[in-house]
Amino acid sequence: MKYTLHKAKDRGKAEHGWLHSRFSFSFADWYDPNRMGFGTLRVINDDVIDPDSGFDLHPHNNMEIITIVMEGSITHTDSMGNQEVVPAGDVQVMSASTGVVHSEHNNSLDETLKLFQIWVHPKSRNIVPRYDQKSFGIEWPSDTVQLLVSPDGRDNSLSIHQNAFISRSSLTAHKKWTYTSYDEKHGVYILVVDGNITIDESTLTERDALGIEESGAIDIIANENSRYIIFEVPIEI
């Protein structure tokens, strides 16, 4: 197996008054040539957005964009005509493809919005843009993996235009779970949301991440109650 360890303290960061971001990979003004993504996984932004603020209209193209809302709710508007509220427990997907203009706002006057925004390179360019969202619930299923995103919408997941899988998991202290890849040629990137887990010889705490290549099965041991997100993606872009 090939491992890439990313400690939370080494992530990029941006502070814009209303926006507090941490970047797993190079983004905006933070650039590290050794952290340009993990296979087709290009961006994981850990964003905290203050009340009554957000991103005004801006464009994207040829990227699969996934938003996992952790706390609060986000109000989404786009050039496809979608106007949606995405609350905590929901996941939003958008294929920017030939081009989409959208805005994302925290319209609450007193509640902070916390989310992960993920970008994945699509398997082909210039497809028809699309939008979808789904509620998976506030409570993460215990001692199992719940599929959120897949290439074909299997197991009640949302679909994106890439052979990638995004799952969430909650593991009780002192239990072990084995994650089996959908395709053993894929890489797997595991981000700890909170808690403490061990994978092989690496111990990961809150917001640490581990990229793993050349493994079909990964043993995860929870040293305390833990939540984590699993990104399984093609390594070749």
CATH at residue 55? 2.60.120.10
Domain count, the chain: 2
Residues 131 and 167 in one domain: no
Rounded Cα gap, residues 43 and 25, in angstroms:
6
Q: Is the pLDDT of residue 174 over 90?
A: yes
In a domain, residue 2? The reply is: no
Residues 125 and 22 in one domain: yes
Rounded Cα gap, residues 101 and 61, in angstroms:
9
pTM of structure? 0.97
Rounded (5°) CA angle 65-71-77: 45
* Averaged pLDDT for residues 81-89: 97
Helix (H, G, I), strand (E, B) or coil at 213: strand
Residues 172 and 202 in one domain: yes
Residues 76 and 99 in one domain: yes
pLDDT in tens, 6-53: 999 999 999 999 999 999 999 999 999 999 999 999 999 999 999 999
Q: Is the pLDDT of residue 113 over 90?
A: yes
The residue from 85, 115, 135 where one domain ends is: 135
Residues spanned by the domain of 200: 144-233
pLDDT in tens, 180-236: 999 999 999 999 999 999 999 999 999 999 999 988 899 999 999 999 999 999 998
Residues 163 and 101 in one domain: no
The model's confidence at residue 237, banded by pLDDT at 50, 70 and 90, is confident
Residues 167 and 227 in one domain: yes
How far, CA to CA in Å, does 101 sit from each of 62, 90, 133? Answer: 12, 21, 17
Take residue 168 and report the two structure tokens written for it: 């969430």
37: left (phi over 0), alpha (psi -120 to 50) or beta: left
Residues 216 and 166 in one domain: yes
What dihedral angle (degrees, nearest 10) is formed by the CA atoms of 99, 159, 116, 29? -30
Residues 53 and 123 in one domain: yes
Residues 122 and 28 in one domain: yes
Helix (H, G, I), strand (E, B) or coil at 236: coil
In a domain, residue 6? The reply is: no
Chain centroid to CA 186: 17
Percent of the chain with pLDDT over 90: 97
Helix (H, G, I), strand (E, B) or coil at 207: coil
Take residue 9 and report the two structure tokens written for it: 């303290």
Rounded Cα gap, residues 90 and 100, in angstroms:
21
In a domain, residue 3? The reply is: no
pLDDT in tens, 117-173: 999 999 999 999 999 999 999 999 999 999 999 999 999 999 999 999 999 999 999
In a domain, residue 155? The reply is: yes
Query: Which pLDDT belongs to residue 216?
Result: 80
The residue from 82, 112, 135 where one domain ends is: 135
Task: Kindly give, in sequence order, each residue whose CB lies less than 8 Å from that of residue 81, ignoring residues fewer than 6 positions away.
Answer: none
- Tell me the DSSP string of 143-183: TEEEEEEESS-GGGPEE-SSS-EEEEEEE-TT-EEEEE-SS
Chain centroid to CA 37: 12
In a domain, residue 103? The reply is: yes
Residues 117 and 221 in one domain: no
In a domain, residue 170? The reply is: yes
Residues 31 and 100 in one domain: yes
Q: What single letter denotes the amino acid at residue 234?
A: P
Residues 126 and 28 in one domain: yes
- Tell me the DSSP string of 78-119: ETTS-EEEEETTEEEEEE-TT-EEEEEEE--SS--EEEEEEE
In a domain, residue 101? The reply is: yes
The residue from 113, 135, 157 where one domain ends is: 135
